[in-house]
Structure 1
Amino acid sequence: MPTNQASAGHLLKLIRSGQATTRSELQAATGLSRSTVGHRLDQLFHAGWLSNTVGTSTGGRPSVRLEFDARHAVVLAVDLETTHARAAVTDLSGTVLAEHAQPLLIADGPDKVLDAVASWFPALLDAAGADPSKVCGIGLSVPGPVDWETGQIVQPPIMPGWDGCPVQSAMQSAWTRHVGPDPAPPHVLLDNDANLMAYGEQRHHYPHCSAFVLVKVSTGIGAGVVVDGEPYRGIDGGAGDIGHIRLHDRTDALCMCGSYGCLAAVASGRAIAQQLSAAGIPTASATEVREHLAAGLPDAVRLTREAGQRVGEVLVTVVTLLNPGVLVIAGDLACTPFVTGVRELLYQRAMPRTTAHLTVATSQLGDRAALAGAAAMVVEYLYAPEIADARLAAAGAA
C-alpha cells in the first residue's frame, strides 16, 4: 500500500472493515514500520476513536485487538415524511439511544420544519445522556430528490418551498437557535428517503448483498439502490425516482409533479386514498389506507393488491436491469396485498433467470429504516479516510 494510502484515516478504515485489527496486521497490510503504525494509532486513540480488546488466545499471550469505539460520539438522525417527522440520537454503530416523533407537515416549508425539528434536539440529547459536544453530525432524510454533491433538494414534487433551499446551513442555524452557539453546529448531510432506507436496510440485514433494491410506497413511490455497499444516486441524485415512470394506459391520472400517467398517480398510497374516497370511503392519506388494510377493509385490500401489480410492472424492468439479490418493499403499503401484487407481475413477466436468486421481502427496520440510513451516512462520511485525516489535523491544530 502506498504511503499516502496508509494514513491514520486509512488505518481506521482497515480496522473498521475488519481487514486488519492488530498492530502486526496493520503493518502487514500497509507496509509501514512498527513505529509509524504506532504513531498513527496514537492519533486515533488520542481522538477517542479506538479502543483495545483482548483477542482469543491460541496457547500464548492473547492478542490485543483494535476496535472502532462506537460510543465516543453520537449522531442526530432525522426522518422527514410528508405529514410527520422522527428524530433520534444514535451511537456510531446505529444503536438508538433516544427517539421522538410527531406530526409535522413538510409542506410548511424548510424554515418552519427545520426549526421545529431542531427544537427537539436538547431534550433528545438529554434523554440519551449525551452532551451536545458529542454530536459529530446530523443526518437528514427527505422525501424528494437530493443532489448529493451540492446538498440541495432538486425539484421535489411533494415538498413545496424546498427546491434549492440551503438545507445544511438552515439546519445549522436552527441548531444554534435551540442548542446554542457553543458547541459549533455539527456537519449536516442529507439524502433522499428511499436511498437512506435502502442503505439502512442493506447494512443492517443484508450486508453481503452486492446489489440491493428497496421500493418505498407511501404518499409517493421511490426506490433506493445499493451496489457494493454504496448508495447509487445517479449523476445528480435522480436515480430511483420510479414513481414518475409513465404508464402507457393511464394518461388520465394527474400526478403531483404536474404530469399525467405517472406510476405514483396510479399506485401510491395517495392514489389509493383518492380511489377509496371516490368509492365513498373517505380516506385522507396513505396512513389511513394502512389503517383500512389493518382493519381488513375489502376495497382497500383489492385496490392495494392492484397497486402492487402496477408497481410490479415497473419493477420487472428494474430487476432485469440491476439483477438484485434482494428487493425490499417498505413504507405505508409494505403489506401482504401489495407484495402479493408485486410478486404476481414480477414473477410472471421477468425472465426466470433474473428472479431465480431474488428475495422479495418487506422492511425489517420499518419506521426506523431512514433513521438507520441517515446515521450510517454521517458515520461513513465523517470517518472515511480523507475526511477522518482532515478532522484529525484540525483537532491537532486546535
Structure 2
Amino acid sequence: MQDVVRLPTRHAGAGELFQLLRDGRPRTRADLAAATGQARSTITARVDVLMAAELIAPAGEASSTGGRPPTTFAFRPSARVVLAVDLGATHARLAVTDLASTVLASTEASIAIADGPEAVLGWIAEHGRALVASTGRPLDDLVSVGVGLPGPVEHSTGRPINPPIMPSWDDADVRGILSDALGGPEVLVDNDVNLMALGEHRSAWPDVSDMLFVKVATGIGSGIISDGRLRRGAQGAAGDIGHIAVPGADDVPCRCGNLGCLEAVASGRAVAEHLRRAGLDAQTGADVVALVRSGDLAAGRAVRQAGRELGSVLAACVSLLNPSLVVIGGVVAEAGEHLIAGIREVVYQRSLPLATQHLRIVTSQARSQVGILGASAMAVDHVLSPAAVDRLLDAMVADGEVAEAAGSDAG
C-alpha cells in the first residue's frame, strides 16, 4: 500500500499568504504573522500546507535573537512548470519555464499562421510535450499554458475574433484544443503584443507604472501598461494601433479591408514592398533590417520614414495615455536608430510638452524573448493567484482523504 501524506485542513487563506512569498525573499513565521496580523497558529497551519504542496520550502535559518534560530521559508519556483507559446505570422517560439518564468528549455521554428489552427496547434502540442520531457519533468507537472496570437483575442474566452492575418482562426477554441492535447492544463490566450508588453515590463522595467509597448513587424500593434497593470479594454482590443488611419494614405489598401491603416504604410511588410518597387530585394521585415545594416541608404531612409508615420499615431497615444516609457520591439526595431529616430522626431514635436517632459522612447531589452516571457508571466500569474492556490490545496486535500480512505478499506 502506497503511503499517503494527509495535508493539513486549516488552509483557507493560504493562497493570500503565499503572495507575500512570491518575491523569493525568505521569511520566518514571525515575519509573516507581523505582515498579516494573523495568529501564529494560523500562519503555521498555512505554511505547513504550502510546504506540503511544495510551493514553498525551508530556506535556512534567520539570525537568532536568543534561543534557537527561527526557520525561514521561501517560494519554490521549481514546484511546477508552464509552457509559454509565442506565435507570429511566420514563426513559433515555445519555452518551458518554472514558476518564476525562468526558461528551462526552448525551441522555435518557421511556421505559417495562415495554415490554420489544426496544423499550428497540433505542432505546438507535439513539440510542447517533447519540450516538457526534455526538462526531465512529467507532463503532470505542466499546470498552465500561455499563448500569444498575432491578432485580436477575446481574453475571457481565449478565442481569436476576426483576425486579419489568421484565416480560419476566427472563434477557434484554442484553449480547449491545447488543453485536451496536453493532458488538461489550464490554457490562457491573449494578443501577442499584450504579452510582449507584459514580458518587457516584468523583465526590464518592473518599476515603471505606465508604459506602451509597440511591435513593428509583419503587422503593427501595441500593449498598454497603466498603473502597473496590463490593460486589455472591454473586449481585449485595446492597443490595436495598426489599423488607425494615417493622413495622406487614403489610397493604400490594408489587409483588414480598410484603406490607409498605419500597418499598410509603416509595417515591415509595407517597407519591404516599398523597397521592392525601388528595385531592391526585400520580401520581409528581416530583409529590410539586413539592408539597413549593410548600409543601404534607401532602406535606411524608408525605415526612418516608417518611424515618422508611426510617430504620427504614437503622438496621439502619448497625449492620451501619458506613459513615461515607450518601448519599440519587433523585427523592424532591430534596424538600429533609424526607426527610433523617426518616431522621436514626430512624437516630441506633436505631443503635449507636459506628456513628453520625462518620456523615454527606447528599443526592447528582452528582444526576441519578450513574447515568451510575457506568455509565461500570464500563465504563472493565473495559477499562482490566491484563488488558484486555494483550489490546488483543496484538490490535494481531497485526493489525500480519498486515498487514505481507500487504503484503510484495503487494509
Q: Same fold (TM over 0.5)?
A: yes
- Find the counterpart in structure 2 of residue 22 from structure 1: 28
The structure having more radius of gyration, on CA atoms, is 2
Residue 124 of structure 1: how far off its partner (Å): 1.4
- Find the counterpart in structure 2 of residue 181 from structure 1: none
Q: 1:64 to 1:356 in 2, by over 3 A?
A: farther
Residue 228 of structure 1: how far off its partner (Å): 3.0
- Find the counterpart in structure 1 of residue 6 from structure 2: none
- Find the counterpart in structure 2 of residue 133 from structure 1: 140
For 2:304, what is the secondary structure of its paired residue?
Answer: helix
Residue 296 of structure 1: how far off its partner (Å): 2.2
1:242 is the counterpart of 2:248: no
Q: Separation in 2 of the partners of 1:58 and 1:394?
A: 37
Deviations 1:125-159 (A, max 9, x none): 23322221211111111111111111111111111
1:227 is the counterpart of 2:233: no
Residue 323 of structure 1: how far off its partner (Å): 1.4
Contact 1:224 1:240 in 2 (8 A): yes
Residue 162 of structure 1: how far off its partner (Å): 0.9
Residue 123 of structure 1: how far off its partner (Å): 2.7
- Find the counterpart in structure 1 of residue 169 from structure 2: 162
For 1:77, what is the secondary structure of its paired residue?
Answer: strand
Contact 2:28 2:62 in 1 (8 A): no
Matched AA of 1:263: L
Q: Which moved more, 1:88-97 or 1:232-241?
A: 88-97
Contact 1:145 1:238 in 2 (8 A): yes
Matched AA of 1:11: L
Structure 2: segments with no counterpart, 5+ residues? 1-10, 400-411
Q: For 1:56-75, what aligned pairs fall within 5 Å after superposition?
A: 57=63, 63-75=70-82
Q: 1:56 to 1:35 in 2, by over 3 A?
A: closer
CA RMSD of aligned residues (A): 1.9
Contact 1:14 1:20 in 2 (8 A): no
Q: 1:127 to 1:20 in 2, by over 3 A?
A: closer
For 1:171, what is the secondary structure of its paired residue?
Answer: helix
Contact 1:20 1:29 in 2 (8 A): no
- Find the counterpart in structure 2 of residue 346 from structure 1: 347
Q: Separation in 2 of the partners of 1:58 and 1:287?
A: 59
1:286 is the counterpart of 2:285: yes
Matched AA of 2:376: A
- Find the counterpart in structure 1 of residue 51 from structure 2: 45
Matched AA of 1:249: G
Residue 62 of structure 1: how far off its partner (Å): 5.1
Consecutive aligned runs of 4 or more in structure 1 exceeding 4 Å deviation: 17-20, 58-63
Matched AA of 1:53: A
For 2:232, what is the secondary structure of its paired residue?
Answer: coil
1:151 is the counterpart of 2:152: no
Q: For 1:149-298, what aligned pairs fall within 5 Å after superposition?
A: 149-175=156-182, 184-298=183-297
- Find the counterpart in structure 2 of residue 36 from structure 1: 42
Q: Report the TM-score, using the length of structure 2 for normalisation.
A: 0.90
Q: Separation in 1 of the partners of 2:244 and 2:220?
A: 10
Contact 1:144 1:156 in 2 (8 A): yes
Contact 2:324 2:359 in 1 (8 A): yes
Residue 105 of structure 1: how far off its partner (Å): 0.3
**1:110 equivalent among 98, 117, 120:** 117
For 1:256, what is the secondary structure of its paired residue?
Answer: coil
Q: Report the TM-score, using the length of structure 1 for normalisation.
A: 0.93
Matched AA of 1:189: L
Matched AA of 1:255: C
Contact 2:159 2:172 in 1 (8 A): yes
Contact 2:64 2:70 in 1 (8 A): no
Q: Separation in 2 of the partners of 1:293 and 1:80?
A: 26
Residue 344 of structure 1: how far off its partner (Å): 0.6
Deviations 1:13-64 (A, max 9, x none): 1222579933223223333221111111211111110022236637656553
Structure 1: segments with no counterpart, 5+ residues? 176-183
Aligned residues with identical type, % of pairs? 44
Q: Which moved more, 1:22-31 or 1:218-227?
A: 22-31
- Find the counterpart in structure 2 of residue 380 from structure 1: 381
- Find the counterpart in structure 1 of residue 3 from structure 2: none
Matched AA of 2:72: R
Q: Which moved more, 1:348-357 or 1:56-65?
A: 56-65
Deviations 1:315-370 (A, max 9, x none): 11111112112110000111311011001111111222211212211111111100
Matched AA of 1:304: V
Q: Separation in 2 of the partners of 1:274 and 1:193?
A: 24
Q: Which moved more, 1:256-265 or 1:290-299?
A: 290-299
- Find the counterpart in structure 2 of residue 368 from structure 1: 369
Residue 93 of structure 1: how far off its partner (Å): 1.1
Matched AA of 1:187: E
Q: Which moved more, 1:38-47 or 1:215-224?
A: 38-47
How many residues are paired up? 386
Q: Separation in 2 of the partners of 1:57 and 1:205?
A: 33
Q: Which moved more, 1:242-251 or 1:124-133?
A: 124-133
Q: Separation in 1 of the partners of 2:252 and 2:64?
A: 68
Matched AA of 1:14: L
Q: Separation in 2 of the partners of 1:232 and 1:17?
A: 23
Deviations 1:271-326 (A, max 9, x none): 11111111122322222222222222222111110000111111111111121121
Contact 1:347 1:355 in 2 (8 A): yes
Q: Which moved more, 1:160-169 or 1:224-233?
A: 224-233
For 1:264, what is the secondary structure of its paired residue?
Answer: helix
Q: Separation in 2 of the partners of 1:138 and 1:382?
A: 10
